[in-house]
Structure 1
Amino acid sequence: MSQFRNPILPAGADPWIIKHEDGHYYMTVTLRNHIALWRSRTMTGLAAEKPTIIWNPAPSGPYSYNLWAPELHYIEGQWYIYYTANDGGGDDTRRICVLQLLGDDPLSGEWIFKGAINTEHPGLDGTVLPHKGELYFFYSGYGYFPDYGSAIYAARMVNPWTLTGPNVLITAPTETWEKQGGMAINEGPVFLRRNGTIYLIFSASATWSDDYCLGMAMISESDDLLKASAWVKHEGPVFAKNPEQGVYAPGHNSFTISPDGTEDWIVYHAYPYSEAEQKRSDGSPRSMRIQRFGWTEEGAPDFGVPLSTETSIPAPSGEC
């Protein structure tokens, strides 16, 4: 059986990987001043592929700076990219923008700017959840707390670039484990579904803190996704640092499956050293990693612990 070692990319913050029906994996990460896509038949082969730059913002303007956390989505037969950008100023100018592909090939087709999502709050990390024939938008919005930080809001969409109705607060950083590093943070929402339950996985605490981690909230598929009280937050993080193996601040993840569809994989970024060893607010690189995860007897995701970059990991099932 072939094996690999993390990281997949030595510098790859906010990684997003999806497996499309065309049999390819598509990957994107935060590059700050442009957006690029990688494409490969295998997960572990993504880093060996040359990235294609698909979007350069205008030289200046409200959405020209700090392009963060792009996500590639295939919605109702069309490709979209959601990403965060601002005018170079503070968090109050940060918005989630949308690109739409004209054509079928994300690497060679023309991407057009659809605009900034009409969220009630400035924010980042927008994602789309299709559910029962409707689209729901989840994002991390600023401006709610006595502690400076962000919370996760949700709203219904009338189309992939427009919200309608109120932005409902779904989860807020109220616990100590969500407030490490000097900020109270819930961000990076992403979803799993299993046995009639939707699992919202989010990142908590400041990204430069050793204790940046993943939290989880859940709701029955039969409930109203915009009924805040229907969401139940798990007590404590579900994926956190592993100092014994030299892994710190694991978070801002996505999910995908193995080539043969039999395995679930988590994609995330992490640091190979503690905050005490190197100050992280300077933008030092976070490496992009992948590993397989399982499920508990009760049906909830079980992510285990982040593995060392010295650990050999069996390649995803179906890779050749």
Structure 2
Amino acid sequence: MNKNNFKKTSYNQPFIEQRADPYVYKHTDGMYYFTASVPEYNKIILRRSDTIEGLKEAEEHVLWRKHEKGPQSIHIWAPEIHYIYGGWYIYYAAGDAADIWEIRPYVLHCKGQNPLEDEWEELGMMQAADGDEFSFHAFSLDATVFQHKGEYYWVWAEKTGVGKQISNLYIAKLAAPNKLATVQVLLTTPDYAWEREGFWVNEGPAVLKHGDRIYMTFSASATGACYCMGLLYAHEDADLLDPHVWTKLKRPVLQTDTEKGIYGPGHNSFVKAEDGVTDLCIYHARQYDEIQGDSLYDPNRHAMIMKVNYDEKGFPVFSYDTMS
């Protein structure tokens, strides 16, 4: 289709164009960092600004490029930048040009304290915990990390099964930035019809803390207009490695809205606004649904922003009427 003929509304204007799987991190100095998948899937980029809005026009730095062959030579996906254990780390997924779906999670480490100027080094593939015979042996991606009660938790998507494989979400504690401390625990598998359109998928986890709960959004189904966001939650005092403490809502919390011209919203991150109080949801979506070929290779998934509101019970409310 002619991409200039999409339905333009006040709701579906991009924050940053052609940047999918957007991740925004606010550092302790108040600076914002932005990274995302680029349409070529061949490099990792980073922007920095002292305001959210400033990320739009901030200079984009290329921190790392794909290998010419072998592992990490294709499908560089969904980078996230984190400052943990006193240093800068980027988690990302990558494939092998000889087997393009041999997707695994990898780790970069910044040798200095300035992630835009100092050198980055490869730490290789993420390592499973000792005795873990399951993690990272199959299609694995979309890792995120969060801290709770002094410990770091790592959450990622990994496929399992034979025939029609299923992408589940797993959680573990970290022993080090590039190694798990505990054996994987299954958090969620695609249970509902809205998680099974095209592919059976739970992926793209993002953590939001509010009140006495920990919320985790995730994305479901194939990457076209059926892509949407679901929600898990647990009490802050619960054992987060116990899958029984997590509850999944039966319906998606964000999905395609044809009237507003927003298609396939998902793979989000959360960040505080400049006021330090308001929660923002940074997600990607398209402005049309007529895609020729594989939706994964359509370049027009754009980063967008909405303000997160909360209902009377403290649950997050995701509404296109709060677009920033």
Structure 1 length as normaliser, TM-score?
Answer: 0.89
Are 1:299 and 2:314 matched, yes or no?
yes
* Structure 2: distance between partners of 1:143 and 1:98: 22
Are 1:140 and 2:149 matched, yes or no?
no
Match of 1:179 among 159, 173, 196: 196
Amino acid at match of 1:192: L
Match of 1:248 among 263, 267, 272: 263
Matched residue pairs, number? Answer: 305
Is the CA contact (8 Å cut-off) linking 1:214 and 1:237 kept in structure 2?
yes
Are 1:236 and 2:251 matched, yes or no?
yes
Is the CA contact (8 Å cut-off) linking 2:306 and 2:319 kept in structure 1?
no
* Structure 1: distance between partners of 2:143 and 2:75: 15
* Structure 2: distance between partners of 1:284 and 1:26: 22
Are 1:130 and 2:147 matched, yes or no?
yes
Structure 1 residues 230 and 145: alpha-carbon distance in aligned structure 2, compared to 1, 3 A threshold: farther
Alignment of 1:1-320 (within 5 A): 6-31=13-38, 32-90=41-99, 93-119=102-128, 120-121=135-136, 122=138, 123-144=140-161, 147-180=164-197, 182-208=198-224, 210-275=225-290, 280-305=295-320
Amino acid at match of 2:142: D
* Structure 2: distance between partners of 1:20 and 1:4: 28
**1:96-139 Cα deviation digits (max 9, x unpaired):** 11111111111001111111112413310011121222221110
Is the CA contact (8 Å cut-off) linking 2:107 and 2:126 kept in structure 1?
yes
Alignment gaps of 5+ in structure 1: 308-312, 315-320
SS in 2 for 1:45: helix
* Structure 1: distance between partners of 2:172 and 2:23: 22
1:166 positional shift: 1.7
Structure 2 length as normaliser, TM-score?
Answer: 0.88
* Structure 1: distance between partners of 2:292 and 2:254: 22
SS in 2 for 1:304: strand
CA RMSD, aligned part only? Answer: 2.1
1:59 positional shift: 1.9
SS in 2 for 1:15: strand
**1:32-87 Cα deviation digits (max 9, x unpaired):** 11111011122122121220111123322212221100001011321110000111
* Structure 1: distance between partners of 2:270 and 2:302: 16
Is the CA contact (8 Å cut-off) linking 2:12 and 2:261 kept in structure 1?
no
Is the CA contact (8 Å cut-off) linking 1:135 and 1:159 kept in structure 2?
no
Structure 1, 249-258 or 119-128: larger mean CA deviation: 119-128
Structure 1 residues 43 and 294: alpha-carbon distance in aligned structure 2, compared to 1, 3 A threshold: same
Is the CA contact (8 Å cut-off) linking 1:66 and 1:85 kept in structure 2?
yes
Amino acid at match of 2:33: Y
Structure 1 residues 275 and 186: alpha-carbon distance in aligned structure 2, compared to 1, 3 A threshold: farther
Amino acid at match of 1:186: N
Amino acid at match of 2:44: I
Structure 1 residues 91 and 224: alpha-carbon distance in aligned structure 2, compared to 1, 3 A threshold: farther
* Structure 1: distance between partners of 2:12 and 2:258: 18
Aligned to 1:317: none
Structure 1 residues 146 and 81: alpha-carbon distance in aligned structure 2, compared to 1, 3 A threshold: same
Q: Percent identity?
A: 38
Structure 1 residues 144 and 296: alpha-carbon distance in aligned structure 2, compared to 1, 3 A threshold: farther
SS in 2 for 1:285: coil
**1:127-173 Cα deviation digits (max 9, x unpaired):** 11212222211100012476433010111211111013321110000
SS in 2 for 1:243: coil
Is the CA contact (8 Å cut-off) linking 2:194 and 2:220 kept in structure 1?
yes
* Structure 1: distance between partners of 2:152 and 2:271: 20
Structure 1 residues 216 and 19: alpha-carbon distance in aligned structure 2, compared to 1, 3 A threshold: same
Amino acid at match of 2:43: H
Aligned to 2:131: none
* Structure 2: distance between partners of 1:98 and 1:192: 23
1:92 positional shift: 5.5
Is the CA contact (8 Å cut-off) linking 1:151 and 1:171 kept in structure 2?
yes
1:220 positional shift: 1.1
1:278 positional shift: 7.8
* Structure 1: distance between partners of 2:19 and 2:105: 20
Alignment gaps of 5+ in structure 2: 1-9, 129-134
